[in-house]
């Protein structure tokens, strides 16, 4: 089981350059909206034609610009779960599932539909139309229809977007069952790291049309390597950085020098600090004297936006979160020294 993708596509100023491989796992394609995630899936499915590249699924070449191969979507055996499921509104649940079937034999079709209805717990809903179903039932119908077409790979395009948290969790549980029973690879597009942690094993981050090398989910969240990865790992403090010495960097946006535990690689371009890794300074080490630019009160904590001495306003503010009691104990000062442990500075390319 393997999917290998290496494609390029130009759309006006936008340049999509995606390259990744899967081998029997669920790969997360993470990225902010508008970075080309859906476009990548559409290229794999054959809905959009890439300008250059090669797509191979289980040894079958689906697309190769050099050899002039471009299989139509009908022949690719790619199961595509669209954002709003794209169920056919004029057909019943049964009819929707039957659209995916490849056999022409009437008895076999009937049996296959009945089997999918049972697997996806759609009994009693066979004659209903999509608009009469709940969100969960719609998703199950969509999966029943996709799996009826016997795909070799599943492409899931943000299946939980536009859902409230409760329903989201219900559908995530359903999706886990589907993925457990599906033998092929899966590409899961998302912009939420919590879903990815639970559903995927490997991940690649798509930033402005470019994919980062595939890594494991654990590695990405524990030690992001690029700005895109750091953002998705939850780092909100990001600055351009340059190497000064082996263990010293200069953070341009904050205008401060910081000491790092890690030896600074030559290609370091950015530094990131997680919200929770910034705390009020107690000594001179890695100390940043800040002015408190903004105080946002959360339920039991306060979020401080700190202006650094050499930094400009706006995006260069540091974000620190403190328990409300600790903030009161400090006396709600206008100036505050922040510190960060050298081991908590993430060096990014």
| Site of interaction with other proteins (CB under 8 A) | 42, 45-47, 72-80, 82, 84, 86, 88-90, 99-100, 102, 129, 131, 145-146, 149
Query: Minimum distance from CB of 339 to other proteins (Å)?
Result: 51
Question: Which residue lies nearer to other proteins by CB, 145 or 231?
Answer: 145
Sign of CA dihedral 225, 227, 231, 236: positive
Question: Which residue lies nearer to other proteins by CB, 75 or 198?
Answer: 75
CA distance 300 to 321: 10
Query: Minimum distance from CB of 314 to other proteins (Å)?
Result: 38
CA distance 35 to 16: 8
Question: Which residue lies nearer to other proteins by CB, 70 or 215?
Answer: 70
Query: Minimum distance from CB of 25 to other proteins (Å)?
Result: 22
CA geometry: angle 271, 276, 282, nearest 5 deg:
90
Question: Which residue lies nearer to other proteins by CB, 42 or 193?
Answer: 42
CA dihedral 212, 216, 218, 223 (to 10 degrees): -40
Contact 76, 62 (CB under 8 A): yes
Query: Minimum distance from CB of 113 to other proteins (Å)?
Result: 14
Helix (H) or strand (E) holding 25: none
Question: Which residue lies nearer to other proteins by CB, 78 or 264?
Answer: 78
The secondary structure of 246-275 as a DSSP string is TTEEEETTTTEEEE-SSPPPTT--EEEE-G
Contact 27, 20 (CB under 8 A): yes
Question: Which residue lies nearer to other proteins by CB, 146 or 214?
Answer: 146
CA distance 54 to 67: 9
Query: Minimum distance from CB of 133 to other proteins (Å)?
Result: 12
Question: Which residue lies nearer to other proteins by CB, 2 or 86?
Answer: 86
The secondary structure of 119-187 as a DSSP string is HTT-TT-TT--GGGS-HHHHHHHHHHHHHHT--SEEEEE-TTTT--HHHHHHHHHHHHHHHHH--SEEE
Helices 106-119 and 135-148, interaxial angle, to 10°? 140
Query: Minimum distance from CB of 112 to other proteins (Å)?
Result: 13
Query: Minimum distance from CB of 160 to other proteins (Å)?
Result: 17
Question: Which residue lies nearer to other proteins by CB, 157 or 229?
Answer: 157
Contact 272, 224 (CB under 8 A): yes
Query: Minimum distance from CB of 46 to other proteins (Å)?
Result: 8
Count of CB atoms situated within 10 Å of the CB of 104: 7
């Amino acid at each position: 089981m393997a999917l290998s993708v290496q494609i390029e596509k130009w759309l006006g100023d936008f340049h999509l350059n995606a390259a990744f491989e899967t081998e029997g796992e669920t790969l997360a394609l993470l990225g902010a909206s508008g970075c080309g995630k859906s476009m990548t899936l559409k290229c794999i499915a054959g809905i959009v034609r890439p300008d250059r590249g090669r797509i191979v699924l289980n040894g079958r070449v689906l697309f190769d610009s050099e050899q002039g191969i471009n299989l139509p979507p009908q022949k690719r055996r790619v199961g595509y779960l669209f954002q709003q499921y794209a169920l056919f509104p004029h057909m019943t649940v049964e009819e929707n599932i039957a659209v995916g079937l490849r056999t022409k034999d009437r008895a076999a079709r009937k049996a296959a539909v009945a089997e999918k209805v049972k697997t996806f717990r759609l009994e009693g809903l066979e004659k209903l139309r999509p608009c009469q179903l709940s969100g969960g039932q719609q998703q199950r119908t969509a999966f029943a229809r996709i799996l009826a077409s016997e795909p070799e790979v599943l492409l899931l395009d943000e299946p939980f977007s536009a859902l409230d948290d409760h329903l989201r969790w219900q559908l995530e549980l359903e999706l886990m069952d589907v993925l457990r029973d599906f033998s092929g690879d899966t590409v899961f597009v998302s912009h939420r790291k919590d879903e990815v942690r639970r559903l995927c094993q490997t991940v690649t981050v798509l930033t402005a049309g470019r994919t980062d090398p595939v890594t494991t989910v654990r590695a990405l969240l524990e030690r992001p390597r690029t700005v895109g990865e750091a953002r998705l790992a939850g780092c909100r403090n990001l600055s351009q950085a340059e190497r000064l010495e082996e263990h010293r960097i200069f953070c341009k946006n904050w205008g401060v020098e910081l000491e790092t535990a890690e030896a600074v690689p030559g290609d370091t371009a950015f530094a990131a600090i997680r919200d929770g890794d910034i705390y009020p300074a107690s000594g001179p080490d890695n100390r940043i004297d800040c002015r408190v630019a903004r105080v946002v009160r959360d339920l039991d904590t306060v979020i401080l936006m700190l202006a650094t001495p050499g930094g400009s306003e706006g995006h260069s503010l540091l974000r620190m979160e403190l328990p409300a009691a600790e903030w009161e104990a400090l006396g709600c000062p206008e100036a505050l020294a922040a510190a960060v442990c050298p081991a908590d500075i993430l060096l990014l390319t």
